Structure 1
Amino acid sequence: MHARFAPVRDCFHDLFGAGRETGAALSIWYDGAPVVDLLGGTRAVVAPGVPVPVVGAADPWRPDTLVNVYSVGKPVAALCLLLLVDRGRVDLDAPVSAYWPEFHAPATVRQVLDHTAGLPAFPVPRPAGAVADWGLLCADLAAAEPEWTPGTVAGEHAWTYGHLVGEVVRRVDGRPLGRFLAEEIAGPWRLDLAFGLGAADQARCADLSYADPDWPVRSLGEPGSLRARAMGNPAGGLDLAVLNSPLWRAAEMPAVNLHATPAALTRLYAGLLAGGTLDGVRLFSPELVGEATRVQYDGPDLVLDRQVCWTLGMQREPDGSWGMAGLGGSSAWADPDRGYLFAYATARLASHDRVDDLIDALHSCL
Structure 2
Amino acid sequence: MTALAGSSTDALWAVSLRRWNAVCWVLFAAMAVGITTGAGGSRYAALALLGSVALSFAVLHRFPDNPVVRPHGYLAVLVLALGGLAYLNTSYAALFMVTLPHYWMFGRTPRISLGFLGLATAATLTCGWVRQGWSGEFFGETVVGTLIVVAVGMLIGLWVRAVVEQSTERARLIVELERTQAELSEAHQRQGAADERERMAREIHDTLAQGFASIVVLAEAARAGLVTDPARTARQLRSIESTARENLAEARELVGSGGEPRGAAAGSVADTLRRILARFAEDTGLTVEAELADLVCDQPTRIAVLRCTQESLANVRKHARASTVGVVLAQRPYGVELEVTDDGTGFVVEASAGFGLDGMRKRLAELGGRLTVTSSVGDGTRILAVLPSGGEGAA
* TM-score, normalised by the number of residues in structure 2: 0.21
* TM-score, normalised by the number of residues in structure 1: 0.23
Report which of the two has the higher share of strand.
1
Question: Larger RCO: Structure 1 or Structure 2 (Cα < 8 Å, ≥ 6 residues apart)?
Answer: 1
Report which of the two has the higher share of helix.
2
